[in-house]
Amino acid sequence: MEEFLFFMEVLVSGLLQGFMYSVVALGFVLIIKSSGVFNFAQGSMCLFAALGMVSFWEAGIPFWLAVLLALLMMVVLAVAIERVVLRPLVARPPLILFMATIGLSFFLEGLAQGIWGTQPHGLDIGIPDRPFKGFPIDVSQFELFAAGVAILLVVGLVIFFHRTRIGRALRAVSDDHTAALSVGISLRMIWGVTWALAGMVALVAGILWGTRLGVQYSLTLIVLKALAVLILGGFNSITGAVVGGLIIGGSEKVAEVYLSLYFGLGGIESFFGYLLAMLVLFVRPYGLFGDEIIERV
Amino acid sequence: MIYRESGQFASSYAKDMRMFPLLQDRWAFGALLVFAFVVIPLIANDYWLSSILTLFLIYSLSAIGLNILTGFCGQLSLGHAAFMAVGAYASYNFAVRLHTPVLVNFLLAGFVAAAVGLLFGLPSLRIKGFYLAVATLAAQFTIEWVLVSFNWFAGGSMLGAIDTPPMNIMGWDVSSNLDKYLLTLSVVVVLAIVAKNLGRSEVGRSWRAIRDLDVAAEIMGIRLFPYKLLAFMVSSFYAGVAGALYAFCYLGSLEVTAFELAVSFRLLGMIIIGGLGTILGSFLGAGFIVLLPILISQAIVFLHISGASDFLANAELMIFGGLIILFLIVEPYGLARLWQTIKEKLRLWPFPY
C-alpha cells in the first residue's frame, strides 16, 4: 500500500508537470497550425514575456495590470516579428524559416536580458508550492493551479478556433494558404493574430515556469521539453500537445524516480521524453494526433 | 575577363570529370593550399593559430559532415555536436587504453561515431521532416547523458572531463600550436576533397534525388533506406573526426559540455549561412560563425562603447541573431551563392559585356 501510494504520488506529480509542458507546446502548435513555421524562439518568447511581466510588477504596478502590460507587449512583439522577419521570408523553404526563428531566439534572449538584466527574479503569484494537507498523497497546490490554467487555456483555444470568425479563418489558413487567400482571408492579419496568441501562451507558460524555476535564462530551455511533447502528440494538434504532455510528464517522472531508486542512474529526464517520442514515432510517424502528410509525386 | 572558360576544352573523359574543370579554379585551389600550408604558418601568430584558425578548420569539417546529411541528403539533424562528442571520447579512449597511432585513432573515432550515427539514423526510415529533426535531439541528449553518467568513457573522472595525451606521428611531435594547425589542416583538406568527390559520385546523386523528392527517388529505383543510413554514417564519421581533432588539436582538455546543443545549432547555422549542399559553403559558413562574435566584440572595443560586460554580451547575442535573420532574408542560398555571383561578374569584368 505504501509502495502504491508512493507510485501514485510520483505519477500524479509527473502528470501535473506534464500539463505545464503542454502549455509550452501549445505555443508551438498554434504557430505551426496557421503558418507552418517551426518556431524555435518560443522559449525565448517565454523568457521575454516573463521577464517583462516581473519587471513591471517589481516596478510597483499591480499584478493584473503588469500581466496586461506584458500581454500588450507580446502583441506588439508579434506584430513586429511578422513585419520584420516573416513577411520577407514568405514562401521560403521551412528550413530557412526555422533557422530564422533560431536567429530570432538569440535576438530575443539578448534583448530581454539587455533591457531587464540577467539576474534571476523570483516570482511569487501567491499560490504556495506546498502539498495540501489531508490527502493520502501529496499534491502541490501550485501544480494543481498550473494544471487548471492549462486546461482553461486549452478549452479557451478550442472554443476560439471553432466558434469565432478569426478562429475559422485560422483553420482555413492552416488547411490551405492559397484557398484561404482566394476567399479573402488576409494572411498577414492571420499571422499577426497567431503570433500574438503564441506570445500570450508564452506569457502564461513563462509565468507558470517562472514561478517554479525563477525568471531567468534557463526558462528558454523548457522548449526542449516541449519539443519532445510536440512530436509525441503530433505537430499540429492541440489535443496532441495536451496528451503528449501528460504521457511524457507522467512517464519521465516515474522512470526518473524508479531508475535512480534501483539503479542509481539520475538525470534521465533530459532525454527520456525524446526516446519515448521516437518509439511512438516508429509506430505512428506523425505523432499520436498529428495530420498525416500525404505525398504525391 | 579574368574568369573566362572559353577555349578550355576537355579532350578526354578524365579531363571532363575532374574536380575543377577550369584552369582558373585549379590555380585558385592551388594558391589557397599554398596560402594555408605555407603563408599562414609564416604570418599568423599563436593566438590566431590556436584559437581561431584551428577552430575554424574543425568547425568546417564538422559542417561538411552536417552538410552531407542536411544539404546533400535533406535529412535535418539537430544533434550533430553529439557525434563530435562521440568522436572526441572514442579517440581519447583509443589513445589512452590501446595506444593506437594518432591518425589511426582519428579514423577509428570516425568509425565509432559512424556506428552511433547509424543507430540514430534508423528512425529516418519512417520519420520525415521536422519530426525527424526533433527526433535527432534524442541523439544529442542521450549521448550527452551517457558520457556524463558513465565515467568509464572519461577514464573515471567526474562529469566526463578528459585530458588528451601528447601526440606523436612517426617521430613528428605534434605539440606546438603550429603543429596542431598543420595536422588539422591536412586532415581537413583530405576529407574535404573526399566529400567533394562523394557529392559528385553516384552516391551523391542518389542523395540529391532523395533530398529533392524521396518518393520520386524511390520510384526511380534508388533504395531510400541504405542511402539515408549511409548519409547518417558518413555525416557522423566527419563529425567524429572533427570531434577527435577538437579534443586533441584545439582544446586538449575538455568536458562533455563542449558539445552541447548550442554547438549543434551553431553548426546548422554554418551550413545554412554558408550554403546548403556545397563544400565551399561549409567553409564559408564556419568562417562566418567563428569570426562573427570576434568581429562584433572587436568592433565594440574599437568604437569605445563602454558598458557593463552583461550589456556587451547581450548586444553580441542580439547582433548575432539579427545578422542571421538579415542574412536569410538577403541571401537565401548562402555565402557559396555569393561566390557564384562573383564568378559570373568576373567572367566579363572589366568590360560591360
Residue A50 is placed in which grid cell?
A: 516573463
Mean pLDDT of A159-174: 86
| Predicted ipTM beyond 0.85 | no
Confidence check: pLDDT of B219 > 80: yes
For residue B220, with 0-12 CB atoms within 10 Å meaning exposed, 13-18 middle and 19 or more buried, which class applies?
Answer: exposed
Instruction: Please indicate, yes or no, if residue B286 is contained in any of the structural domains.
Output: yes
- Cα B55 to Cα B59, B164, B257, B320, B334, distances in angstroms: 6, 17, 16, 18, 21
Please list, in sequence order, all residues whose beta carbon lies within 8 angstroms of the beta carbon of residue B229, skipping any fewer than 6 positions away: B118, B121, B122, B124
- Inter-chain touch B128–A274, beta carbons under 8 Å: no
- Inter-chain touch A107–B329, beta carbons under 8 Å: no
Number of domains in chain B: 1
CA angle B142, B143, B146 (to 5 degrees): 85
Report pLDDT digits (tens) over A66-91: 899 999 999 999 889 988 988 888 77
- Inter-chain touch A274–B137, beta carbons under 8 Å: yes
Report pLDDT digits (tens) over A45-62: 999 999 889 888 888 888
Q: Which residue of B has its CA nearest to A101?
A: B325
Report pLDDT digits (tens) over A92-109: 888 788 888 988 998 998
Query: Which pLDDT band, with edges at 50, 70 and 90, does B62 fall under?
Result: very high
Confidence check: pLDDT of A116 > 80: yes
Q: What mean pLDDT, rounded, does chain B reach?
A: 87
Quote the domain boundaries for residue B204.
Answer: 45-348
Longest dimension (CA), chain A: 63
**Can you give the pLDDT at residue A89?**
85
* 3-class secondary structure per residue, B109-132: HHHHHHHHHHHHHHHHHCCCHHHH
- B134 CB neighbours in chain A (<8 A) are 227-228, 230-231, 274, 277
Mutate to test the interface with B, among A102, A223, A295 (most CBs of B within 10 A): A102
The share of chain A scoring above pLDDT 90, in percent, equals 10
Give A1's DSSP letter: -
Query: Which pLDDT band, with edges at 50, 70 and 90, does B302 fall under?
Result: confident
Instruction: Please indicate, yes or no, if residue B82 is contained in any of the structural domains.
Output: yes
Q: What mean pLDDT, rounded, does chain A reach?
A: 84
**Can you give the pLDDT at residue B83?**
95
Q: Tell whether B127 lies on the interface with A, counting CB pairs under 8 A.
A: yes
> Which residue among A94, A103, A270 places its CB closest to the CB of B325?
A103
Report pLDDT digits (tens) over B159-210: 778 888 888 888 788 888 888 999 999 999 999 999 999 999 999 999 999 9
The share of chain A scoring above pLDDT 70, in percent, equals 96
Instruction: Please indicate, yes or no, if residue B21 is contained in any of the structural domains.
Output: no
Instruction: Please indicate, yes or no, if residue B10 is contained in any of the structural domains.
Output: no
The domain spans of chain A are: 2-118+138-283
Instruction: Please indicate, yes or no, if residue B143 is contained in any of the structural domains.
Output: yes
Instruction: Please indicate, yes or no, if residue B232 is contained in any of the structural domains.
Output: yes
- Inter-chain touch A99–B141, beta carbons under 8 Å: no
Q: Are B243 and B88 within 8 A, CB to CB?
A: yes
Between these two residues, A167 and B189, which has the higher pLDDT value?
B189
A9 DSSP β-pair partners: none
Q: Tell whether B269 lies on the interface with A, counting CB pairs under 8 A.
A: yes
Q: Are A25 and B134 within 8 A, CB to CB?
A: no
Instruction: Please indicate, yes or no, if residue B260 is contained in any of the structural domains.
Output: yes
- Inter-chain touch B142–A224, beta carbons under 8 Å: no
Return the CATH number at B95: 1.10.3470
**Can you give the pLDDT at residue B173?**
81
Between these two residues, A202 and A60, which has the higher pLDDT value?
A202
- A269 CB neighbours in chain B (<8 A) are none
End-to-end CA, chain A: 59
CATH architecture group of domain A2-118+138-283? Orthogonal Bundle (1.10)
Mutate to test the interface with A, among B70, B72, B131, B140 (most CBs of A within 10 A): B131
Instruction: Please indicate, yes or no, if residue B15 is contained in any of the structural domains.
Output: no
H helices of chain A, in order, are 2-35, 42-58, 63-81, 94-116, 141-163, 165-175, 177-182, 187-213, 222-233, 238-262, 269-283
Confidence check: pLDDT of A297 > 80: no
Question: Residue A181 CB: number of other CB atoms within 10 A?
Answer: 14
Report pLDDT digits (tens) over A243-288: 999 999 989 888 888 887 777 777 777 788 888 888 888 888 888 8
Query: Which pLDDT band, with edges at 50, 70 and 90, does A192 fall under?
Result: confident
Name the strand (E) or helix (H) holding B261: helix B261-274
**Can you give the pLDDT at residue B308?**
60
